[in-house]
Amino acid sequence: MSQAVYLDYNATARVRPEAAAAVAHALEVGGNPSSVHAAGRAARALVEQAREAVAAMIAAPVSTVIFTSGGTEANALAIESAVAAGARRLIVSAIEHDSVRETARAQGVAVETLPVTRDGIADLDWLRARLRAWDPADGQPFVALMLANNETGVIQPVAEAAELVRAAGGWLHVDAVQAAGKMPIDSRALGADTLSVSAHKIGGPQGVGALTFGPRATMSRRQHGGGQERGRRGGTENVLGISGFGAAASIPVSPDRNSAWRDAAAARLKSVGAVIMGEAAPRLANTLCVATPELASDLQVMGLDLARVMVSAGSACSSGKVKASPVLQAMGQGDLAGCAIRVSGGWDTTEGDWNRFVEAWFEVHGRHAARRRPVGANA
């Protein structure tokens, strides 16, 4: 049987050997990083080394990096801190991850949606007009705009949005979870007041993330307990996960070979009517979101899985459910939202993996076409 092909890196990346080695080393070190004895100091050193690596990855001051349990908690910490600081109305882009959308909705304040174009790019004209009309009674404007979308790979004009938000005296939160490791990130040059990242998207272990904050953001401790993370997040640090995170973050971002392989695959799929989402916009080099009219997403995912090719339908954070993508619906692609799959390569993906995907996809497409062919029609 042929080896399985993994093309779901946007859901979670395969763990890099460097990260696995760092986790194994941390297991040997042991110790609570809050303890003052030798084992505790050794554990603390691992945490702080990782903090420096993560800070360097996103060009942030080391003192502003808070380790969390993942990107979801990092996003929540930013949003909840903004509301605690007085925000009474939140602007959230239509393509944000569920962890941003749902956290915003749970705050008990008004939430508005920043629309996107058909290519999946935030509508900055809308944002400019909305901020000009801002009511001071709603507190400091808060805007959430991700750096790169997890489903389409479309890269957002974050720096331009930051200029608008800053001019209005607002707070810009940037979910950079999907962008990290795939493109250079300078949190301060982007103008982010808070920015979140996650280890398992860059080849580190699952269950650890980080948030960085700028001088205009007022952070509030949402998880209480001891004085860990400089008093900003209670609870013993996940030394194993943090160590692996640091190791993965230390690997430089290099040109992604997946780009050419993805584009070649897209061209072949388009030859039979498939539609590439966000094709005209700047995208992450590893990501292909493709919709096939009248061929449901779940049938594509299951058919490919039977052929030992692993992809996903939209976000992988929906408890295994396959549902029409709200991101594609926001892009005005509602007629195709239930027919799209996401294919995403990573650090150990090969050209052969992309070719296997295309071959398996054509088999799935061919079986579907045969079932739809009228009885008696020519083959």
Q: Which residues are catalytic?
A: 317
- Calculate ∠ Cα 209-123-180, nearest 5°: 20
> Could you count the other beta carbons within 10 Å of the beta carbon of residue 102?
14
Question: How much is the CA Rg of the chain, to the nearest whole Å?
Answer: 22
Alpha carbon distance 369, 357 (integer Å): 18
C-alpha distances (whole Å) from 168 to each of 38, 86, 130, 140, 165 are 49, 15, 10, 8, 5
Strands 340-344 and 287-291: antiparallel
Going by C-beta distance under 8 Å and a sequence separation of 6 or more, which residues neighbour residue 319?
A: none
Closest residue by Cα to residue 309 from 349, 253, 270, 337 = 349
Contact 297, 279 (CB under 8 A): no
Contact 144, 79 (CB under 8 A): yes
Closest residue by Cα to residue 269 from 277, 350, 322 = 277
Structure tokens at 177: 């979870």
Closest residue by Cα to residue 353 from 15, 11, 5, 8 = 5
> Could you count the other beta carbons within 10 Å of the beta carbon of residue 306?
11
Phi, psi of 73 (to 5 degrees): -70, -35
Going by C-beta distance under 8 Å and a sequence separation of 6 or more, which residues neighbour residue 288?
A: 153, 262, 265, 266, 276, 342, 343, 344
> Could you count the other beta carbons within 10 Å of the beta carbon of residue 186?
13
Contact 241, 204 (CB under 8 A): yes
Query: For residues 52, 57, 58 and 62, what is the CA-based torsion angle, rounded to 10 degrees?
Result: 10
